Amino acid sequence: MTLPDLKQLALDTLRSPRDAARQILDMRLDSPVLWTALALIVVLNAILNGITIPLLPLPETVPMIFAAPWMFAIVLGGGIVISTFLLTWVGRMLGGRAELVDILALIVWLQALRLVVQAAVFVLFFFSTLLSDLIALAAGLYGLWITIAFLDEAQGFGSVLKTIMVLVLTMLGVAFGLSFFLLLIGASSAGLS
């Protein structure tokens, strides 16, 4: 198996998300490789979060539980895993065709790009707070559009509205799942404020 040029794939993701999604799906990556890549991305996110928290002023609305990198990694990893399963199952219930490994491959790629953007925004913050905030907002909104295009391509809906419905139902499921998960690991509501 030959991996594509990652820089070109990133550009394709920005310019033509559906084509990029098709390229990723056509790679047919093995499940163990994808789960390992996802674990690495979660760890790198936790490290970046651990560096960011002490250096940047955070709004008071950010739960203190995220100040601990290990807890951030658990919550982030749990959220991604739950959402990956839910995006697959909900999509299948609504007539989609994607397998778990398909959704996982797309999620891993999107999370890797998200990590790169977060690192860039973090560095940019020291030069221009306003610009870093604007880029973070634009990246978040455009990232949502890319996610919708990726999911629609994987599930084969041919309907943005159906894909948005899958996302909304998944977000509700993730909120419930993470709440339950945090209760299981003993995170009280006091630790979330």
191 confidence band (pLDDT: 50, 70, 90): very low
pLDDT digits (tens, 9 = 90+) for 167-176: 999 999 888 8
Cα–Cα distance list, 4 to 9, 24, 75, 106, 134 (Å)? 7, 9, 31, 14, 31
Which pTM value belongs to this model?
0.84
Helix (H) or strand (E) holding 45: helix 31-55
Residue 80: Cβ within 10 Å count: 21
Residue 190 confidence (pLDDT): 42
Q: What angle do CA 90, 165, 167 make, to 5 degrees?
A: 70
Instruction: Confirm if 96 and 166 have CB atoms less than 8 A apart.
Output: yes
d(CA 126, CA 129): 7
pLDDT digits (tens, 9 = 90+) for 14-29: 999 999 999 999 999 9
Which residues, 6+ apart, have CB-to-CB distance to 145 below 8 Å? 17
In the numeric block, the tokens 């978040």 are attached to: 140
* Paired tokens of 155: 């599930």
d(CA 84, CA 121): 26
pLDDT digits (tens, 9 = 90+) for 117-131: 988 888 888 888 888
Question: 3-17, 65-79, 135-149: which has the minimum mean pLDDT?
Answer: 65-79
93, pLDDT greater than 50 = yes
pLDDT digits (tens, 9 = 90+) for 111-165: 999 999 988 888 888 888 888 888 888 998 999 999 999 999 999 888 889 999 9
Instruction: Confirm if 190 and 64 have CB atoms less than 8 A apart.
Output: no
d(CA 20, CA 141): 18
Best-predicted range by mean pLDDT (42-56, 120-134, 137-151, 177-191): 137-151
Phi and psi at 31, nearest 5°, equal -55, -45
2, pLDDT greater than 70 = no
Residue 65 confidence (pLDDT): 61
**71 compared with 7, residue with greater pLDDT:** 7
**71 compared with 42, residue with greater pLDDT:** 42
